[in-house]
Amino acid sequence: MNLSRLALSLGQSATLKLNEVANNLKAEGKPVIHLGGGEPEEKIPRGALEESGKLLDAGFVRYTPTSGTAALKKEIAAYTEQYYGVKPGPRNIVVASGAKQAIYNFLVSVIDPGDEVIFPAPYWVSYPEMVRLAYGNPVIVKPRDGGLLAKASDIEAHITSRTKAILLNSPNNPSGQVYPEDFVRRLVEVCEDRGVYLLMDDIYNRLVFDGLKAPSAFAFSKKPLNESPIVSINGVSKTFSMTGYRIGWSVASEALTQAMIKVQAQVSSCPSALSQAAAAGALREGGSFVDALRDGLQKKRDVMVAELAKLKKVKLHKPQGTFYSFADFSAYEPDSKKLSGLLLEKAMVVAVPGIEFGLEGHLRLSYCGAEKDIIEGVSRIRKILD
Ligand code: PMP
Ligand code: GLU
């Protein structure tokens, strides 16, 4: 086989691979408990089904404009204004086939070969590989002293003449932590001063617990959107439980947005018309669906925290949002891939190794599934380890 160096060097998505492992074992009738998942199990908003149904009834399912339908962009603009305090125009938005594609559009639009993109660990599994796909170099900044949040000054210290962007995902997959206001403010200041893009992966932005809010980078910006280095990525996968619809989007300056549209036009033309209609329906229905989802996840977070506390040697920073916990299991086994393999083999529990997120010794355990699975899954882990 004559494959490219890029294809040969690319790692697999650990999360998607483990999803497959869990689903295959389930299909074989094995009593597997999937604590490695990354999608809520709730039904999607009624409005989403209705809107896509209307389009199907009309039999008019065609290409849409590359950057998305006017109807969905209108909803995204209203949503962004409500939750981020900035009102984008239609020329500031690109609707993509998932937040993943929106991030890719961005990276390809700003990276020249060898440029650097900085992000803190723990990071979402796909960031390093996506940066490499755009021929860039990922630069990873680890937290200190056993914490889960890197320091803004450490990130700043890694900026070089090759730095094109800083990526921040808050609330964070996998840690569930929310980066504090001072941290976000500092990154905005640094990016505006140094001419570096700040990509905010806001995909879990409304899944924050205990009345907390994840700070929006736009709140600290001194520049209007069209001069801003801030790019906000969002979508319906997590907050509206619509992972299979594959709708995400970016909000950015017009100049950057036009470049991202060119990329998308050559790669995928436009996102699915049906899915865009569904996403518009979900956003219109909005608030109450997300509030209920968040409240349910907060209860499951509490169950996960209580169950993990029963293990003698686990260290956990209580998650503040998302549906992931990221616990330190290094006192049992420092090699997280080995531990994840052991738990699958001996306990039939799927957990994602921390090393896939750039922090060894941890496991990511999700609480987006059924409460009984959280309890049974962690209790099986406890039987093996304690
Ligand atoms: N960013 C983060 C941090 C995620 O966890 C995910 C989940 N897959 C994505 C982006 C991509 O989401 P999607 O492509 O499903 O919109
Ligand atoms: N974001 C989810 C996760 O981290 C879904 C899988 C993926 O897209 O990587 O598990």
Return the ligand number nearest the Cα of 97: 1
The reported pLDDT for the residue numbered 343 is 96
Select from 12, 13, 16 the residue to mutate for testing ligand 2; criterion: most ligand atoms less than 8 Å from CB.
Answer: 16
| Per-residue tens of pLDDT for the chain, all 386 residues | 899 999 999 988 988 888 898 889 989 999 999 999 999 998 899 999 999 999 999 988 899 999 999 999 999 999 999 999 999 999 999 999 999 999 999 999 999 999 999 999 999 999 999 999 999 999 999 999 889 999 999 999 999 999 999 999 999 999 999 999 999 999 999 999 999 999 999 999 999 999 999 999 999 999 999 999 999 999 999 999 999 999 999 999 999 999 999 999 999 999 999 999 999 999 998 778 999 999 999 999 999 999 999 999 999 999 999 999 999 999 999 999 999 999 999 999 999 999 999 999 999 999 999 999 999 999 999 999 99
Return the ligand number nearest the Cα of 13: 2
Secondary structure of residue 197 in the 3-state scheme: strand
Half-sphere exposure (Cβ direction) of 306: Cα atoms closer than 13 Å: 10
CA of 334 to the centre of ligand 2 (A): 23
**DSSP H helix total and E strand total for the chain:** 13, 13
Total residue count of the chain as it appears in this document? 386
Ligand 2 first shell, C-beta below 6 A: 13, 15-16, 38, 125-126, 173
CA of 366 to the centre of ligand 1 (A): 14
Secondary structure of residue 162 in the 3-state scheme: coil
The reported pLDDT for the residue numbered 284 is 92
193 burial type by CB count under 10 A (0-12 exposed, 13-18 middle, 19+ buried): exposed
- Sign, CA dihedral 29-33-38-43, equals positive
Closest atom of ligand 1 to CA, residue 124:
3
N-terminal to C-terminal alpha carbon distance within the chain: 47
The reported pLDDT for the residue numbered 104 is 98
- The tokens for 126 are 């796909």
- Sign, CA dihedral 20-348-302-169, equals negative
CA of 38 to the centre of ligand 2 (A): 5
**CB neighbours of residue 268 within 10 Å:** 14
Return the ligand number nearest the Cα of 203: 1
Tell the residue nearest (CA) to atom 3 of ligand 2.
38
Contact present, 343 and 379 (Cβ < 8 Å): no
CA of 105 to the centre of ligand 2 (A): 18
Closest atom of ligand 1 to CA, residue 173:
3
| Sheet containing strand 362-366, strands side by side | 315-316, 324-328, 362-366, 352-353
Give every CB contact of residue 145 below 8 A, 6+ residues apart in sequence: none
Select from 18, 126, 366 the residue to mutate for testing ligand 1; criterion: most ligand atoms less than 8 Å from CB.
Answer: 126
Select from 17, 125, 241, 365 the residue to mutate for testing ligand 2; criterion: most ligand atoms less than 8 Å from CB.
Answer: 125
Give every CB contact of residue 36 below 8 A, 6+ residues apart in sequence: 15, 18, 19, 22, 350, 351, 352, 364, 365, 366
CA of 6 to the centre of ligand 1 (A): 22
The reported pLDDT for the residue numbered 287 is 79
- Domains of the chain are 5-43+288-385 (3.90.1150.10), 46-285 (3.40.640.10)
CA of 16 to the centre of ligand 2 (A): 6
CA-to-CA distance for 296 and 332, rounded, in angstroms? 31
Q: Is the CB of 173 under 6 A from ligand 1?
A: yes
Contact present, 322 and 173 (Cβ < 8 Å): yes
Select from 12, 13, 15 the residue to mutate for testing ligand 2; criterion: most ligand atoms less than 8 Å from CB.
Answer: 15
Tell the residue nearest (CA) to atom 10 of ligand 2.
38
Return the ligand number nearest the Cα of 119: 1
Tell the residue nearest (CA) to atom 8 of ligand 2.
16
Closest atom of ligand 1 to CA, residue 100:
14
**Beta bridge partner(s), residue 349:** 33
The reported pLDDT for the residue numbered 242 is 96
